[in-house]
Structure 1
């Protein structure tokens, strides 16, 4: 779970930074809309994407040859950890509150739709309400003041603006980001994504008005006049959403096709880099560049000066050993290995590592795990292991590659 949150948050932050620095100020709002939505989907999906990079693996001691556990396995005792239960309970309560707010606000809109007169208008449905409001849009519905509509006090530019929201289905974008905010309420980046998405919606609607009426000064003054209205509706597309200098400048700005194409293409290597960095996994354990694997057959003698400390052995006269032997290692596992709360079942977690000449462990990796966090726990436990008795070849400590199974059995 933590890996998912870290990877997705890093992607969200990077892609949003690219948008704000290089894309937002360019007049290519259609591309920007799908860039923002795609960034959200991409960032949530990338932790679940993986591909393998095959690299040469070092030759390790054969498990059957070692016979670490010839007749029994180390069985770790399960320990209850109440912290995850508490955290999930808190998450569930807060998420329920946000979900209730989301549903309540949707209900408010549908209640207005069902309790007020309606009027079909150019493919949309006008909802004529009594309260004094600015036009705003939710799904296929445009909410306007009934008196203003009947007395023809609503400018054509405002109708065009709201119809653009309807035809381009901007409410679906808002609902999507709001659902994400409900689930991932602890991630503040989604607040900035919502603002960027809604501001881009206004760029699109403003652009349609400018093309249709070709009177930028009048439209700008109209927006500034309406900006003083306090009518920002949750989940709706609002006429006066962020009437800022940035929005007014965008109405008169132009972006050349070549410049826009260049910036669009620049996004591709960024996405490719994120996929490669976040999703690639190394298969096998790569030997350090300066080391080589040495396999010594039983009874074979090797001159001491031919045993540099960088060599890694797969078979030696005296194998490395945990202090006190296998029985002591079993007790160490039972004491230190904290089985994740959700794990039930049995099987082996296979750990590989190198026992250095001083008995310390390096290059610790989990070759096989049982899921539910058993990999992370095995890595944590082995990293805390006391020093072993090093492997001996011809009377000299040498580096030895080692595989070690840890059997878990929880019913």
Structure 2
């Protein structure tokens, strides 16, 4: 929850800075309204949207994954290793972790307390406004409800209700106030304010969210003032003078549109400012790349991360399923149910109604199994002894069990630096059969500091001395934490040597895990490199970026055949990043051939990517060619498609007399809403221009 909320706050902050720097002084009030609303909504949606893995700027492979087995240990959790600056004891680590968790927990409580307080405040405002709206005398003016108040408050509106004290104002000012508030209601500005208040409920701690609400309110007033001045009955100087009379220091509730005295100066300045030129609309297009950058930096890739792939691989290991299916709730006493299967015995341990754990043992380990009669048998291991009471009838048995821990085992482990405090921890060590000699073997191989959570997956996966020795022959400095994902993914000496022969001379353990989890072997690397050599001078060049490209290639199934299919069309030097983007967008040789048949012989890879992302097809190009536009450059095709401009629309502009029509003109007209129907309506009102740019400027001034 906290990362998501903080991410949302970060997006709001970035969007507010962008708005303040580039958009706040523009007079495109309608456009600013949509920007403010869209950013508010996107701030909460964007963090939840997964992005294609090849576009993610997050680390896709963790350099040193640690597998930490917890009790319950029926799953293994992969996290990034932390290099300890010293050699703290387990007790010190536990205390430090507890302190951090406690602080985080209190922050979560504080956050939700704030959410509840602001939510209650929001509900109280809504209830109070509805009470005022339906408990006082009202004048019905069409769909508008005029509620007459008696206290000395500034006029305001909420939903379709206008709150005003008619005795305070002259008739002309009174009518202007009503007209102003009716515009607020007609354009549904209450929705904007309600959304802003709901954002504040969840972002109450974020100062940028409060500034965001203020910016939204100011823009709504700018927009309404602009609409007022377009009324034939309203004269600018008279209206501004009325505002000075109406503005009052007593603020209404924050859910209402109102005559806020603190905004008055800004509103008058904006009313007298020069209208923004339509050519400044380019600023708005920069907001989208900012949001995309945030998504690429922080969003979870759509494909699972390498850690999750490693986790799945670990879960798929049969020995983990058999040996680690033990729950922390398993008590030292309870009931057992068993089934003999050949040379093994599968025993299910039941401590209460909900706690069940099972494990499989060798039949030879169980001494004196009672058959067809009540009796006692035991299973003895270094960690302790499991005493069973009950009987078997055929291959099925049941009864009660009791675990007796071996205190000498705990002392021996403590001597080796492994702290085991609780009997339930000893049960885990008992089930996996972790011996003191196993810890001594690890220490002999250079792993001096070992804790109990590291031992459990190591022993469960049977990572023995032979395996460790073979890995150390090719990776002498491999960390203990990397051995678990190595073994679970079947990474052995032969695989490492194969990857190195393919050109990865200094491959790290983290990269090996990432490569193996994607099913990447030496042959795949060699084939891809031979098909797409970006660096002719050094075919063995290795870098983190190239590693990530290979992983992305495999995830997207970019193989030698795919690369060669583009070479046949003349694309001999496509970069890795372009290949990844082309594959993710399904840019095929057939797609390119269609454009080549239409006369586009040398479209660059980045243009192909942009065209495919907007679904610019050869058929779309052919339509323009039939209309007389023989050679439109790829960037203009992208712009035309982004605005959904067709040859029919181009012809409509020509029919209006714009015969010498440039593609850029039509793109600008469509982007600003200067449609043929708008031009016809303006000509009907006497605005007869020969230049399309004049209508674009007129549209910017009139807004909607």
Alpha-carbon contact 1:119-1:125 (below 8 Å) kept: yes
Provide the residue aligned with 2:297 in structure 1.
277
Matches within 5 A, 1:20-35: 20-35=20-35
Q: What is the alpha-carbon distance in structure 2 between the residues aligned to residue 130 and residue 75 of structure 1? A: 67
Q: Matched residue pairs, number?
A: 311
- Of stretches 123-132 and 323-332 in structure 1, the one that deviates more from structure 2 is 323-332
Q: How far off its partner does 1:28 sit? A: 0.5
From the superposition, tell whether residues 90 and 267 of structure 1 become closer, same or farther in structure 2 (CA, over 3 Å). closer
When normalised by structure 2's length, the TM-score is 0.39
Q: How far off its partner does 1:332 sit? A: 4.8
3-state SS of paired residue (2:147): strand
Q: What is the alpha-carbon distance in structure 1 between the residues aligned to residue 15 and residue 266 of structure 2? A: 20
Q: Does 1:359 align with 2:477?
A: yes
Cα deviation code 1:329-361 (max 9, x no counterpart): 5625379xxxxxxxxxxx99xxxxx98967365
Task: Indicate the structure with greater strand content.
Answer: 1
Cα deviation code 1:65-118 (max 9, x no counterpart): xxxx9xxx9544798855554433333333222222111111111111121111
Q: How far off its partner does 1:147 sit? A: 3.5
Unmatched segments (≥5 aa) in structure 1 = 61-68, 286-320, 336-346, 349-353, 368-391, 405-411
Matches within 5 A, 1:110-149: 110-148=130-168
From the superposition, tell whether residues 329 and 155 of structure 1 become closer, same or farther in structure 2 (CA, over 3 Å). same
Q: How far off its partner does 1:178 sit? A: 1.0
Alpha-carbon contact 1:126-1:144 (below 8 Å) kept: yes
Across the aligned residues of Structure 1 and Structure 2, the Cα RMSD in angstroms comes to: 4.2
Q: How far off its partner does 1:165 sit? A: 0.9
Provide the residue aligned with 1:296 in structure 2.
none
Matches within 5 A, 1:6-405: 6-54=6-54, 74-76=69-71, 82-148=102-168, 152=171, 154-212=173-231, 213-279=233-299, 281=301, 323=443, 329=450, 331-333=452-454, 359=477, 361=479, 401=509
Alpha-carbon contact 2:248-2:259 (below 8 Å) kept: no
Alpha-carbon contact 1:206-1:251 (below 8 Å) kept: yes
Q: What is the alpha-carbon distance in structure 2 between the residues aligned to residue 107 and residue 203 of structure 1? A: 28
From the superposition, tell whether residues 16 and 142 of structure 1 become closer, same or farther in structure 2 (CA, over 3 Å). same
Cα deviation code 1:109-164 (max 9, x no counterpart): 11111211111124311011222332210111000115458x84743221111111
From the superposition, tell whether residues 17 and 328 of structure 1 become closer, same or farther in structure 2 (CA, over 3 Å). closer
Alpha-carbon contact 1:128-1:146 (below 8 Å) kept: yes
From the superposition, tell whether residues 225 and 361 of structure 1 become closer, same or farther in structure 2 (CA, over 3 Å). farther
Alpha-carbon contact 1:135-1:144 (below 8 Å) kept: yes
Q: What is the alpha-carbon distance in structure 1 between the residues aligned to residue 143 and residue 54 of structure 2? A: 56
Cα deviation code 1:170-201 (max 9, x no counterpart): 11111111112112222221100110010011
Provide the residue aligned with 1:5 in structure 2.
5
Q: What is the alpha-carbon distance in structure 2 between the residues aligned to residue 362 and residue 270 of structure 1? A: 41
The 4+ residue runs of structure 1 with deviation greater than 4 A are: 73-85, 282-285, 324-330, 354-358, 360-364
Unmatched segments (≥5 aa) in structure 2 = 74-93, 307-440, 462-470, 486-495, 498-505, 515-704
Q: What is the alpha-carbon distance in structure 1 between the residues aligned to residue 112 and residue 54 of structure 2? A: 41
- Rg larger for: 2
Q: What is the alpha-carbon distance in structure 2 between the residues aligned to residue 5 and residue 47 of structure 1? A: 9
Task: Indicate the structure with greater helix content.
Answer: 2
Q: How far off its partner does 1:241 sit? A: 4.9
When normalised by structure 1's length, the TM-score is 0.64
Q: What is the alpha-carbon distance in structure 1 between the residues aligned to residue 481 and residue 273 of structure 2? A: 56
Q: What is the alpha-carbon distance in structure 2 between the residues aligned to residue 267 and residue 92 of structure 1? A: 31
Provide the residue aligned with 2:358 in structure 1.
none
Q: What is the alpha-carbon distance in structure 2 between the residues aligned to residue 31 and residue 265 of structure 1? A: 12
